[in-house]
Amino acid sequence: MNEGFRLLDPVRQSAAVKVLRAILPAEAVLYEPEDTKPYECDGLSAYRELPMVVALPQNEDEVARVLRACRRLNLPVVARGAGTGLSGGALPHGKGVLLSLAKMKRILALDPVARVARVQPGVRNLAISEAAAPYGLYYAPDPSSQIACSIGGNVGENAGGVHCLKYGLTVHNVLRVRACTIEGEVVEFGSEALDAPGYDLLALIMGSEGMLAVATEITVKLVPKPHTARVILAAFDDVEKAGNAAADIIAAGIIPAGLEMMDQPATRAVEQYVHAGYDLEAAALLLCESDGTVEEVEEEIGRMTAVLKQAGAYDFRISQNEAERLRFWSGRKAAFPAMGRISPDYYCMDGTIPRKRLGEVLRFIAEMEKKYGLRCPNVFHAGDGNLHPLILFDANDPEQLRRTEAFAGEVLEKSIAVGGTITGEHGVGIEKINQMCVQFDPKELEMFRAVKRAFDEEGLLNPDKNIPTLHRCAEFGRMHVEGGQLPHPGLPRF
Amino acid sequence: MQEVIERYAERIRSAAAAKKPLRLRGGGTKDFYGQALQGEVLDTRDYTGIVAYEPTELVITARCGTPLAELEAALHARGQQLAFEPPHYGPGATVGGMLAAGLSGPRRQAAGAVRDFVLGVRMLDGRGDDLSFGGQVMKNVAGYDVSRPMAGSLGTLGLILEVSLKVPPLPFAEATLKLELPQDKAIEMLNHWGGKPLPISACAWSDGGLTLRLSGAASAIRAAQEVIGGDLMQTAQAEQFWQAIREQTDAFFQSDKPMWRLSLPSVAPPLALPGEQLIEWGGSLRWLASNADARTIREAAAQVGGHATLFRAADKSAGVFTPLPPAVATIHRKLKRAFDPAGIFSAGRMYPDL
Ligand SMILES: Cc1cc2nc3c(=O)[nH]c(=O)nc-3n(C[C@H](O)[C@H](O)[C@H](O)COP(=O)(O)OP(=O)(O)OC[C@H]3O[C@@H](n4cnc5c(N)ncnc54)[C@H](O)[C@@H]3O)c2cc1C
């Protein structure tokens, strides 16, 4: 991983500070290392770099002017929301500007009749649902980080949550994004209607990791809160059985509000932290939620219970009240922080796989645990196939860090090999950039670069992330050959 | 089938070299839609068939030339559906044409549009290169999302070879209700119900009558009927009704006047425009059969935060799609050039310069 250090260029820095100070108040331009230090990394803390300058605009006009100035000075710009991203998407550029949207955190309008909210990018995901709650409405995508992450960052990563199988990802719940281009032009993607003329640029901007434009205002859809929700906690003596049970629920024509799985190492890790009352002897636990009217939930819970029994669950518990429902979920929701309790560090992976290959992938991960001598509990969005293996390691030991990275790399490539993808919701960022060379061929990568140029000709917005250069892929290919494990020998290389 | 791809690619490469426009076309059921039809036809129907269908993964992958009816029949046989109810507009409709047209039917208000169900595409770009984006899994943020914007691109970005779609289950039960309501009251109630957890999956208002479809668990439908009231429509009649809305065979769509498609915020009040209206999507989609001039209609739509498309008309000189603001138009042109450097694909179908 990188050393977190590039030599600062004082002349370039003072030029940037001077220009930014003409746009922003003095306290909104940070450059002393003790002030820029809090911005040196996002949720992927193994990668660090001090930004040359941090700019904290308060409104769209300031964002536009900062971007225009950066373009004039040829300064790279990295947008940052809350910095909870897990792929280094908001990792600063040592010779550029870290553009924090944290001060732009106002809910500008909330229309309960039209069921939309217009918010600034720095608004926290959960704050939107809290503001909508008095009207019986909420914002559906609920990443586990929702108390902290920003809606701008959600757009940047197309974030999902445990309820996204039924209610969709960020891309399904945002109507419009206002954004500034690197030229400092304000553009709108989408509209307050259900579509907009022209290409669907709203879809293109989702998950674009701050590389196409900087979101300055987001209009989200609000949906009515279901009358009630209940969750089944089902225990299995075998992980593959649990995976198959998830498939059986889908095959029965049910789209549960949530369908999540944890393996035994994961439940054991979280139980000591949250005391959810999980069965620690189970090889895997499945959480199946139903929401809707009381009668509807009753009907669906009955249907799901029948399927789970058939699929070999040896124990069930059905939440009898809201407190119990939340307790059943608490372990799953707190899975990541719980890993932080039992291990100095954890490394969260994010591949999506066809659900039917789950058994194979879990066996592969178990082999990798042995090969690299590291533990790896798994939590799984079983409904949509998004797997989060969590490698436990100690970042202070460079040797462990190296093994962790190699472990993660193999799991990502396994995800591709079984017909999946290297990232379901956390993004490529800097973390998975090498594996992009495996998932896409050179012509596809070139098309991504062309898309980038259509928005940002000079490549100033979040450079070196997400889309690898030709050169980088060539380097990576060479490394792989040296390691004697070229993943796709048939693919053309440079 | 690989030889078909090679044939298409060859055709594209020579068209690009000669700068001769190509018109990508499946069954031609949507020829009426969009601006000009230019260039030699490249028939996408040779590349046909379902590539993979995994009901328990909720994913189907089909080739562009697959008849839409064949795809839907395969899904229905396994209790699944295209939840956005794309209009066919004729027996010849293909999967590729459906995606390129990007049109959704009545269930869009509850389920989402075509683009919401796109998981991945395989395409030939303007260099004849065979490219794949997205994939066959439900969640995927590797690289930019190039697949979803193919929906509604009207064949201007490339030849869609294959598409992978998310295919949810059919609802357990459905019921259709009929109410008498004037337009303003209907819009008000649609928005009011929209804020309640009711299983409304489609609506159509015209001429003082509001028809609502409920979909979901039988118990939820019964509960919603209590809340909404109205008269229950016979199942067979209801199916015919929604089919006629989806396919625009309903009497409303047989008007001689130009047919406008107004996409508006659901709360927009009734627009005082001459002509007849039919409202769908909880108030967000308003069909207008009107002889009013394009400017008046576009301004009325823009005023409430929406846009107007000249959907069906003999004279399209007013422009089919609402013009784009300059900065957005620039991005469009650059994207078009990235995918289709020689500018051969369906030139002018969307905007004169794309
Ligand atoms: C404990 C924990 C649990 C998590 N659980 C989930 C989960 O369940 N689901 C999930 O999807 N993710 C999850 N995440 C990951 C993370 O929270 C999400 O990716 C989130 O969307 C990031 O939001 P942020 O505001 O922190 O963005 P940041 O990390 O600051 O930025 C993320 C990316 O978006 C860009 N960006 C930020 N703001 C803007 C803007 N205004 N305009 C353009 N680009 C912008 C950045 O440049 C960067 O590339 C979790 C993270 C943690 C630490």
Is B42 contained in some domain? yes
Beta-carbon separation of B217 and A299 below 8 A: yes
HEC assignment per residue over chain B:
CHHHHHHHHHHHHHHHHHCCCEEEECCCCCCCCCCCCCCEEEEHHHCCCEEEEEHHHCEEEEECCCEHHHHHHHHHHCCECCCCCCCCCCCCCEHHHHHHHCCCCCCHHHHCCHHHHEEEEEEECCCCCEEEEECCCCCCCCCCCCCHHHCCCCCCCCEEEEEEEECCECCCEEEEEEEECCHHHHHHHHHHHHCCCCCEEEEEEECCEEEEEEEECHHHHHHHHHHHCCEECCHHHHHHHHHHHHCCCCHHHHCCCCEEEEECCCCCCCCCCCCEEEEEHHHCEEEEECCCCHHHHHHHHHHCCCEEEEEECCCCCCCCCCCCCHHHHHHHHHHHHHHCCCCCECCCCCCCCC
Q: Whose CA is nearest to atom 8 of ligand 1?
A: A143
Separation CA A251–CA B53 (nearest Å): 13
Rg (CA), chain A: 23
Tens of pLDDT, residue by residue over A262-295, are: 999 999 999 988 899 999 999 999 999 999 988 8
Q: What is the CATH number of the domain that holds B94?
A: 3.30.465.10
* Segment holding A262, helix H or strand E: strand A258-263
Task: Establish whether residue A145 lines the binding site of ligand 1, counting it when its CB lies within 6 angstroms of any ligand atom.
Answer: yes
Which residue do the tokens 């066996």 mark? A363
- The reply to whether A477 touches chain B by the CB within 8 Å rule is no
Residue B227 lies inside a defined structural domain of this protein: yes
Residues B133 and B205 both lie in one domain: no
pLDDT number for residue A481:
55
Assigned token pair, A125: 């995901």
Residue A358 has pLDDT above 80, yes or no: yes
What percentage of chain A has pLDDT greater than the value 70? Answer: 95
Quick check: CB of A214 below 6 Å from ligand 1? yes
Give the amino acid at A60.
E
- B99 is a domain residue: yes
Provide the mean pLDDT of chain B: 97
Q: Is residue B60 part of a domain?
A: yes
Q: What is the pLDDT of residues B11-61, one digit of tens each?
A: 999 999 999 999 999 999 999 999 989 999 999 999 999 999 999 999 999
Q: How confident is the model at residue A2 (pLDDT cuts 50, 70, 90)?
A: very low
Query: In this model, does residue A493 exceed pLDDT 50?
Result: no
Whether ligand 1 lies within 6 angstroms of the CB of A42 is answered as yes
B346-351 average pLDDT score: 95
pLDDT at A480: 63
Question: What distances in angstroms separate CA A322 from CA A327, A328, B118, B324, one per listed residue?
Answer: 9, 10, 35, 48
The verdict on B18 and B55 lying in the same domain is: yes
* Residues A43-53 pLDDT 10s: 998 899 999 99
Q: Which atom of ligand 1 is nearest to the CA of A104?
A: 41
Q: Are residues B163 and B28 in the same domain?
A: yes
Element (H, E) at A345: strand A345-348
Whether B46 and B143 share a structural domain: yes
In this structure, the answer to whether residues B204 and B308 fall within a common structural domain is yes
Collapsing DSSP to helix, strand or coil, A406 comes out as: helix
Average pLDDT over every residue of A189-215 = 98
Mutation site, A185, A293, A416, interface B, largest B CB count within 10 A: A293
Q: How confident is the model at residue B116 (pLDDT cuts 50, 70, 90)?
A: very high
For residue A400, pLDDT beyond 50: yes
Pairing of strands B285-289, B59-63: unpaired
> Do B207 and B113 fall within a single domain?
no
ipTM field? 0.98
Q: How far is A10 from chain B (nearest CA, A)?
A: 35
Report the pLDDT averaged over residues A479-488. 50
Q: Note whether residue B269 is domain-resident.
A: yes
- Following DSSP, what letter does each residue of A195-231 receive, concatenated? --SSS-HHHHHTT-TTSS-EEEEEEEE-EEPPSEEEE
Among all chains, which residue has been given the structure tokens 């891309």? A171
CB B333 within 8 Å of CB B10: no
| B150 shares a domain with B178 | no
Q: Cα dihedral sign for B329, B334, B339, B340?
A: positive
C-alpha A426 to ligand 1 mean position (Å): 7
Domains identified in chain B, total number: 2
Residues B210 and B155 grouped into a single domain: no
Radius of gyration of chain B (CA): 21
Name the nearest CA neighbour of B61 among B50, B45, B47, B76: B50
pLDDT digits (tens, 9 = 90+) for A13-64: 999 999 999 999 999 999 999 999 999 999 998 899 999 999 999 999 999 9
Outline where A381-461 has alpha helix (H). 398-417, 433-439, 442-455
Residues B205 and B270 reside in one and the same domain: yes
Spatial contact of A296 and B221, defined as CB atoms under 8 Å apart = no
Question: pLDDT grade, residue B286 (50/70/90)?
Answer: very high
- For B105, the domain range is 2-169+332-339
Q: d(Cα A70, Cα A81) in Å, to the nearest integer?
A: 19
- Tell me, yes or no, whether B39 and B86 share the same domain: yes
Look up residue A173 and give its two tokens.
């719940």
Query: Looking at beta carbons, which residues of chain A come within 8 Å of B144?
Result: 204, 207-208, 212, 448, 451-452, 466-467
Are B273 and B186 in the same domain? Answer: yes
Q: So what's the pLDDT on residue A1? A: 39
Q: Check whether A486 has a pLDDT greater than 50.
A: no
Task: Please report whether residue B164 resides in a domain.
Answer: yes
User: Cβ(A85) to ligand 1 under 6 A?
Assistant: yes
> Which sign, positive or negative, has the C-alpha torsion A110, A115, A120, A123?
positive
Same domain, yes or no: B155 and B187:
no
Indicate whether B347 belongs to any domain: no
* pLDDT for B238 beyond 90: yes
Distance CA A133, CA B300 (A): 33
